[in-house]
Amino acid sequence: MIPNQWYVVLDSTEVKGRPIGVTRLGERLVFWRDSAGKVHCARDKCAHRGAALSKGKVLGDHIQCPFHGFEYAPDGRAVVLPALGRNTPAPERFHLATYPTYEAHGFIWIWWGEKPPADLRPPRFFDDLDDSFTYGQVRDPWNAHYSRVIENQLDPIHLPFVHHNTIGRGGRTIVDGPVIRWVDEDMFLVYVSSRVDDGIPPRRPEEVEIREGQVYLEFIFPNLWQNHISEDVRVVAAFVPVDEEHTLLYLRFYQRFIRIPILRDLVNWLAMPFNRFVAHQDRRVVETQVPKPSALQMGEQLVQGDRPVVEYRRRRHELLQQGGLR
């Protein structure tokens, strides 16, 4: 995984009144909300005897270990050690490893790194998804490295085969371009035009004209993706790294063409079985890919339609080199 990045790791509804323990980015983590409702994150291991804090309690702003009642503040400092008495200051060595958190758009992020910068900025989301949209969501486990799941959603040439009876109907096997546009160093757009094989080879990116209203993809490093289907319909995915061989896909269908509350919620709910089915068509194949994580150089023989995957790998490689391989 790429260190020193904001990662979406949970849906907001998953952290409630009690601590929750989850594995993310290969680490066992605990999340809890303080008395003001703010989410906090630490490694799920008491500094005393290694017990799981996620089995403990939230007391005001503190999380309490279930083993000996040690209490920790949101910044990881031990503040109460019952065995030493409430009036005895806790030694500084009793300290948890913590991660900065951010909550917005129904997601919880953590900044996964060793030393957060003093001027740490909030994570990014898609600017064009405002409060006029509502969404339905599924949480789907994959036995695959998160990089492979991301690459699948950036791959336009698999649609006629993996999704021959759903979103890939029509046998449009020729992909012109794809056209890649970098918004900045951590966000890029992918424009794809596909057609039935008429004997004309795929047009090169510079030969492709981008049409108004064309479907396109957006990707924000390290793990957010949007399919911009129309001004009123989007599909968003957060590819949440669990460990080197497992990913949680948080898949959302956003729409604003229906805004009547009950009908809107029904449409959002009804859209998700189809989206899950399409995702499972992908999952069946992606889980077979080897090696599990992708890399810039891995001995694969690529074609022109793989350009979005190559762009993703190139930037991911740069970020790994900057942050140190993990």
Is 129 domain-assigned? no
Is 124 domain-assigned? no
Residues 168 and 248 placed together within one structural domain of the fold: yes
Residues 77 and 167 placed together within one structural domain of the fold: no
Residues 21 and 164 placed together within one structural domain of the fold: no
Residues 105 and 143 placed together within one structural domain of the fold: no
Which residues, 6 or more positions from 34, have their beta carbon under 8 angstroms from its beta carbon? 40, 58, 60, 61, 74
Q: What is the pLDDT of residue 90?
A: 86
Is 128 domain-assigned? no
Q: What is the pLDDT of residue 324?
A: 54
Residues 92 and 153 placed together within one structural domain of the fold: no
The CATH number linked to 41 is 2.102.10.10
Residues 93 and 61 placed together within one structural domain of the fold: yes
Domain tally, the chain: 2
What are the tens digits of pLDDT across the range 149-171?
Answer: 999 999 999 999 999 999 999 99
Torsion, Cα of 51, 54, 58, 63 (10° steps):
50
Query: Splitting the chain (326 residues) into consecutive groups of 10 residues, what average pLDDT does each group show?
Result: 95 96 98 96 96 97 96 95 88 93 98 90 95 96 98 97 96 95 96 94 94 92 97 97 97 96 95 97 97 93 96 96 66
Is 126 domain-assigned? no
* 167: amino acid identity, one letter: I
Cα–Cα distance, 146 to 294 (Å, whole number)? 9
Residues 86 and 184 placed together within one structural domain of the fold: no
Residues 78 and 197 placed together within one structural domain of the fold: no
Residues 296 and 230 placed together within one structural domain of the fold: yes
Cα–Cα distance, 244 to 142 (Å, whole number)? 11
* 54: amino acid identity, one letter: S
Which residue segment(s) compose the domain that 39 sits in? 5-112
188 half-sphere exposure, CB direction, 13 A CA radius = 21
Is 127 domain-assigned? no
Cβ of 205: how many Cβ atoms within 10 Å? 15
Is 121 domain-assigned? no
The CATH number linked to 194 is 3.90.380.10
Q: Return phi, psi of residue 41, to 5°.
A: -140, 140
Tokens of 147: 């990089």
